[in-house]
Amino acid sequence: MDAWNLQVSLGDLLIDFSIIGALLLAGTWLRRWVPFFQRFLIPNSLIAGFLGLLLGNELLALLPFDSARMGAYVYHLLALTFICVGLFKTEGSHSWGVVNLGFMQVIIMLVQGIVGLAIGIAIAMTLVPDLNPATGILLPLGFAMGPGIAYSIGQSWTAFGYENAGSVGLTFAAIGFLIAYFAGMVLVNREVAKTGRTALPDHIRHGVREKGNRPEGSKQTFSSAAVEPFAVHLALVGAIYLVTFGVTGYLANLLLLAGLEAEVPVIWSFHFIIANALSLGCRRVVLAGKRGDWIDNGTVHRLTGSFAEFLIASSIMAISLSIAWRFALPMALICLAGGYITYQLLKWACWKVFREHQFERFIGMFAQMTGTISSGLALIRVTDPDYRSPVAQELVLSSGMALSFGFPLLILINLPFTLFNGELKGFVIVLCLMVSYLVLLGGAWYLYYRKKMIQHSDARVISAPIGKS
């Protein structure tokens, strides 16, 4: 609830927007002209965020922004992004690739959570007694789920005594971005050199499309003589967020009436899930009977990308360097272990499960499970510039499946605070529950894999000529 109650003047809001905008322009210029950023495909928003961190109060003190306000912007931009994701119309598909990548995503989240929490408990009991074991649970939030979720859920733990958890989550997310792009591009360049794949087009590396190579981004579904189409889509997003605020507040009041005050911060941290559910429902209602073909996918995509750019830049600028430095050693150990096991598991699974496009699926998943889906798509494009393989679409569609199967993990990670008041035994119990869920999910994946393999084998036998099998 802190992000809703934060006192911000109109002047502060406009200045912050102007600062982030200026930094995004600076990031765009640097990506255009600096070979280092081009080589590793560092997003403009990531460049902007680290530039803001450098120029902010904790280092050079040249820019007048407050990290608490930046954190609040991350919280709200997360929900706005999920609203746009819900409004985007996709062709539903549960192909072999989509389902397997969906299982992989949730299993990696669980493994990251188990490894992070185990290390967090061990370090809290030995090397750093004042480390909150929950630090380890923030690993999958920052790595696999992104900075917005890491901040939103981490910040809710302030009510349970874990101060600055939101900033710690953002630090994990920032480290994850670095792993995704730097380690990811090392792996990609090695693959390109080994296989001789086609080099990337220039506009992907320097980020600017040349004249004559500028595709249309959206369609105008309203007459501009009556209303600006972009304004209608933006208004729809705003209206859904208003309903999100009302629904979340209503649910919080119900929890208070039921005597579950400890759950209130959690429900406010899950506002992005409520926002996504409401936008999905809105899309189905509006599109019913072909009355809602005015929701243009291109415009929604532009809004999603715009919110995401500001979210990423703000998330880096909201990091508290003093907190990051204080717990640098345990956080470094957790990130190294998490990154390494993510790499090893995906390398094994992608070559075990798939017979083609193994590297594209591996690098896309690796970048997504340490950065964001945009990171995965960016690295896939290095080896598949025109997205001719189905991997990019599979990655997008599997994220929806992963969100559904990953929801129990979001519930589990809050239990040490909501049920056990932050006691060590609560973290140990949750660690055991995550292992149990991992076994259950792994078993379900195995049964699915085995069923499909049997069906595929039977189909080959039926289609074989007489006398052959």
Single pTM value for the model? 0.89
Question: Position of tokens 């990548």?
Answer: 101
pLDDT band at 461 (very low <50, low <70, confident <90, very high): very low
State residue 91's pLDDT score.
57
Task: Determine the pLDDT at residue 469.
Answer: 38
Cβ within 8 Å of residue 412, ≥6 positions away: 430, 433, 434, 437
Q: How confident is the model at residue 406, as a pLDDT?
A: 86
Q: Is residue 465 part of a domain?
A: no
DSSP-derived 3-state class of residue 199 = coil
Six token digits for residue 87: 């409004």
Range of the domain at 11: 2-206+228-458
Mean model confidence pLDDT for the chain: 88
Work out the pLDDT band at 451, boundaries 50, 70, 90: confident
In a domain, 464, yes or no: no
User: Per the domain annotation, does 221 fall within a domain?
Assistant: no
Provide the domain count of the chain.
Answer: 1
The mean pLDDT value for 289-299 works out to 75
Report the range of poorest mean pLDDT among 19-28, 189-198, 315-324, 346-355. Answer: 189-198
Q: How far is CA 355 from CA 350, 351, 361, 380, in A?
A: 9, 7, 11, 17
Mean pLDDT, rounded, for 171-198 = 87
Could you tell me if 401 and 98 are in contact, meaning their C-beta atoms sit under 8 angstroms apart?
Answer: yes
Residue 220 lies in a domain: no
Instruction: Report whether pLDDT(286) > 50.
Output: yes
In a domain, 188, yes or no: yes
Mean pLDDT of 175-184: 94
